[in-house]
């Protein structure tokens, strides 16, 4: 996952990357219409089309990778609570929804030079939800690690 983020996402995002600027709306914890307009206005149409392509392909693959990894961790740590694996699956679906909304926002901007505030609100809400599910997943995995370590130490002391 780290290698994919570094070498694939990093490589394919270079066509819309701007130094000292927000380079993905999805990496923020929510955003306003002003934030979205600033993001869009900083880029020319070829950069925005590249951003759309990135969201459709490369950023669409990434959720599959992290979901697979998180589900395996959860299944390993919580054999009786496997339903917890639904959380990273929901996270993946929310991430794809976020990408779709961002693609719509870029389309709106490219065709009319403006964006619809309701789409921005929805996108921001979905982004916040994605991060909340991400933190929840990390918390579950961390809890699983702690449980496994406790069990290991307890069995060694017996």
| pLDDT number for residue 79 | 87
pTM of the model: 0.86
Q: So what's the pLDDT on residue 51? A: 93
Q: Where are the alpha helices (DSSP H) in the chain?
A: 2-3, 10-12, 33-41, 45-56, 58-77, 86-112, 117-157
Report the pLDDT value the prediction gives residue 88, as an integer from 0 to 100: 97
Whose CA is closest to 79, among 135, 148, 137?
A: 148
Higher-confidence position of 158 and 92: 92
For residue 57, is pLDDT > 70? Answer: yes
pLDDT of residue 155: 80
pLDDT exceeds 80 at position 4: no
Residue 27 has pLDDT above 90, yes or no: no
Cα–Cα distances (Å) from 46 to 25, 108, 114, in that order, read 17, 15, 17
Residue 7 DSSP label: I
Count of CB atoms situated within 10 Å of the CB of 34:
9
């Amino acid at each position: 996952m780290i290698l994919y983020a570094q070498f694939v996402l990093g490589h394919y995002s270079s066509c819309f990357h701007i130094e000292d600027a927000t380079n993905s709306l999805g990496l923020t914890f929510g955003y306003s219409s002003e934030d979205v307009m600033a993001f869009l206005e900083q880029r020319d149409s070829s950069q925005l089309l590249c951003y759309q392509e990135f969201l459709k392909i490369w950023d669409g693959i990434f959720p599959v990778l992290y979901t697979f990894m998180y589900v395996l961790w959860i299944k390993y740590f919580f054999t009786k609570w496997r339903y917890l694996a639904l959380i990273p699956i929901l996270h993946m679906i929310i991430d794809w929804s976020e990408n779709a909304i961002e693609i719509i926002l870029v389309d709106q901007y490219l065709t009319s030079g403006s964006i619809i505030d309701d789409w921005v609100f929805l996108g921001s809400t979905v982004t916040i939800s994605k991060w909340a599910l991400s933190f929840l997943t990390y918390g579950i995995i961390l809890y699983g690690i702690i449980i496994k370590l406790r069990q290991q130490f307890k069995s060694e002391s017996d």
